[in-house]
Amino acid sequence: MKSYILSFLVIISAVLSANSQEAMSNQQINRLVMTLKAANKKEDEIKTILNGIIKDPDLYNTLWQDFLKQSYTNKNKKFQFLDDLNIAFKTFQSKDSTTTSLGFSYDFNFDYAKFIEKDKSRISHTLGLSAKGNVAFNKRANPNNLLETKVFYNYAAFIGGVIKQHDTSVFSELNDIETKLVKIKDMKSKEAIALWDEFGDKLKLSNQYYYGIGPKFAFEATQDFSKTQFTPGITIDLGAKAWNKKNILSKLNILDYPFALIRLITGTDKSFTVYGATIPTVQLTLDYVIPSNDSTRRKLIGNLNPFPRFKFETSFRTFISRIRKENIFFNADYRFYQELAAPAAIKNSNFSSANYFVMALQSTSGMFVSYASGKLPFDARNDQVYSIGFSYKF
C-alpha cells in the first residue's frame, strides 16, 4: 500500500510540475540510490534507507503539498473536485501496543444547495455526496477501521441570526470597517484582528437556531472491504448559535469554559469570554442496516438479515489561542451507535452498540495531534489511539 501511494504521489506531482525544479520526482529518488551505491552501500542497506523514507509521513505531506501547489498553479480543471477534499497523512499509536502505523484519513464533501431568503430566516435544499474514513498502510493496525460513503438530501431552516439594530449609523460604521479590512493584506495581523473584533462588537445579531431533516443512502465498509453494509436512513440535524457574547445562550455553552480561561490566560481575549457561536451541534440518525458481507455477524446469528440502528452524534469546535501567526483550534466528536432489538448473541458479544470519541488540537497550517477512544461499527473491541500528522484542505 505504501509503495503504491508513494508512486502515485510522485508521478502525479511530476506530471503537474514538469517545469518546476523544486518538485519531487523519480529522478531525485534515482539520484539518492546512485549516491548510496557510490558510497558502497549494499542492496539491503539501500532498501532499508528507502523504506525508512517511505515510512516517514513528512515525505507524503511534502509530496501532497507540492501536488496542491502545482494543481493550483497550472489551474488544471481536472482537479477542481479536490477543492472539497480534506486529507491528512499521520501515524497511529495505540495505547495497548508499541506498534505505530503510517496511514491517512480523508474527508470529502460535495454538495449543491439552493437557499430561499426570508426576513428572519433562511431555508435551504441541499443535495450532496460525502466520503470519510481512516486507512492504515498496514490494514491490521487500523484502529478506526470504518469507511463511510453516502449521498443525501437535506431540508434545513435557519431561524434568527439577523441584525437587531436598524440604526443607519451602525451600518455606516460597519461599512467603514469593511473598507479598512479590504486594504489589509495579512488577515492575521494585529491590525486586522482588532478590526474584526470591532466589527463583531458592533454587529449585534439575534440568536440563531437550526434544524435539518432528510433521507440518505450510505455504504459502510472496513478498509479491505472484508465487511460491508448498506445503511439507508433518515437524518435530523439540530444546532444553535448565540452571536452576542453576553447573551444567556452563550453562557450555557459550558464546554467552552475551559477554553475561555485559556484565552484569558494567554491574552487572546481581554476578558473571560464564552463563545456562543461554538455550541455543539447534534445529529440523530435512524438507519435500516443491510449487511452484505460480515463473517462475524453470520457466525454469531447464522444470517445477514437487515436490522434497524440508531445513531447519535455531537460535534464541537472552538478557538483556543493565537501563537504568532498560527491559530490553534480544539475539535471534538462523539458518536453512539445502538442496534435496535438486537439478537441475544449480538448483545452478549458486545456488537449491539458502539461508542466513539475523538478530540484534536489543530493549527491553521494543518498540523494536528489527536486522541481517539472507543470503537466503531465492525470493531470487536475498544481502542485508545494517538495520532499526529498534517491535514490539507484542497
Give percent of the chain with pLDDT exceeding 90. Answer: 36
pLDDT band at 324 (very low <50, low <70, confident <90, very high): confident
User: Is 173 part of a structural domain of the chain?
Assistant: no
Per-residue pLDDT of 148-182, as tens digits, reads 999 999 999 988 876 655 556 666 776 777 777 77
**Is the separation of the CB atoms in 161 and 243 below 8 Å?**
yes
**pLDDT confidence of residue 79:** 55
Residue 372 CB contacts under 8 Å (≥ 6 apart), including other chains: 143, 144, 356, 357, 358, 359, 383, 384, 385, 387
Is the backbone of residue 160 left (phi > 0), alpha (psi -120 to 50) or beta? left
Dihedral sign, Cα of residue 4, residue 10, residue 11, residue 16:
positive
**Is the separation of the CB atoms in 208 and 160 below 8 Å?**
yes
pLDDT band at 12 (very low <50, low <70, confident <90, very high): very low
Annotate 233-284 with DSSP letters as a single string: EEEEEEEEE--STTSHHHHT-GGGHHHHHHHHHTTSSSS----GGGPPEEEE
Q: What is the CATH number of the domain that holds 345?
A: 2.40.160
Tell me the CA end-to-end span of the chain in Å, nearest whole number.
Answer: 23
Backbone angles phi, psi at 168, to 5 degrees: -60, -30
Do residues 128 and 277 both lie within one domain?
yes
Please report which residue ranges of the chain form alpha helices under DSSP H: 2-16, 26-38, 43-54, 57-74, 168-182, 190-202, 248-251, 257-265, 295-301, 344-348
**Is the separation of the CB atoms in 321 and 266 below 8 Å?**
yes
Backbone angles phi, psi at 145, to 5 degrees: -85, 70
Cell 439478537 sits on residue:
343
**pLDDT confidence of residue 3:** 43
Do residues 108 and 69 both lie within one domain?
no
- 292 lies in which domain range? 94-162+205-393
Do residues 331 and 213 both lie within one domain?
yes
Residue 361 CB contacts under 8 Å (≥ 6 apart), including other chains: 320, 328, 329, 330, 368, 369, 370
Do residues 218 and 303 both lie within one domain?
yes
Residue 221 CB contacts under 8 Å (≥ 6 apart), including other chains: 146, 147, 227, 228, 229
Do residues 246 and 373 both lie within one domain?
yes
Q: Distance between CA atoms of 134 and 3, rounded to whole angstroms?
A: 18
User: Is 249 part of a structural domain of the chain?
Assistant: yes
Q: Pick the closest to residue 279 from 304, 305, 313, 253 (CA basis).
A: 253
Cell 477554553 sits on residue:
259
pLDDT band at 190 (very low <50, low <70, confident <90, very high): confident
Using DSSP bridges, classify how beta strands 281-293 and 233-241 pair: parallel, antiparallel or unpaired: antiparallel
Do residues 297 and 344 both lie within one domain?
yes
Q: Pick the closest to residue 233 from 213, 215, 212, 211 (CA basis).
A: 215
Per-residue pLDDT of 335-393, as tens digits, reads 999 999 999 999 999 999 999 999 999 888 777 788 888 888 988 677 666 676 666 55
Q: Distance between CA atoms of 308 and 342, rounded to whole angstroms?
A: 9
159 vs 68, 116, 255, 283, 336, CA distance in Å? 38, 12, 23, 18, 28
Tell me the three cell numbers of residue 205.
445579531
**Is the separation of the CB atoms in 390 and 68 below 8 Å?**
no
Highest-pLDDT range among 89-93, 141-145, 176-180 = 176-180
Do residues 118 and 70 both lie within one domain?
no
User: Is 189 part of a structural domain of the chain?
Assistant: no
Domain count, the chain: 2
User: Is 195 part of a structural domain of the chain?
Assistant: no
User: Is 315 part of a structural domain of the chain?
Assistant: yes
Residue 189 CB contacts under 8 Å (≥ 6 apart), including other chains: none
Rounded to the nearest 10°, the torsion over CA 339, 110, 118, 179 is 130
Q: Distance between CA atoms of 210 and 297, rounded to whole angstroms?
A: 38
User: Is 193 part of a structural domain of the chain?
Assistant: no
Do residues 129 and 48 both lie within one domain?
no
What does pTM read for this prediction?
Answer: 0.72
Do residues 141 and 265 both lie within one domain?
yes
Residue 376 CB contacts under 8 Å (≥ 6 apart), including other chains: 144, 145, 146, 335, 337, 354, 356
Q: Which of 17, 41, 75 is the last residue of a domain?
A: 75
Cell 431533516 sits on residue:
213
Per-residue pLDDT of 267-308, as tens digits, reads 888 889 999 989 999 999 999 999 999 999 999 999 999 999
Backbone angles phi, psi at 176, to 5 degrees: -65, -40
Q: Which of 29, 48, 75 is the last residue of a domain?
A: 75
Tell me the three cell numbers of residue 136.
492504515
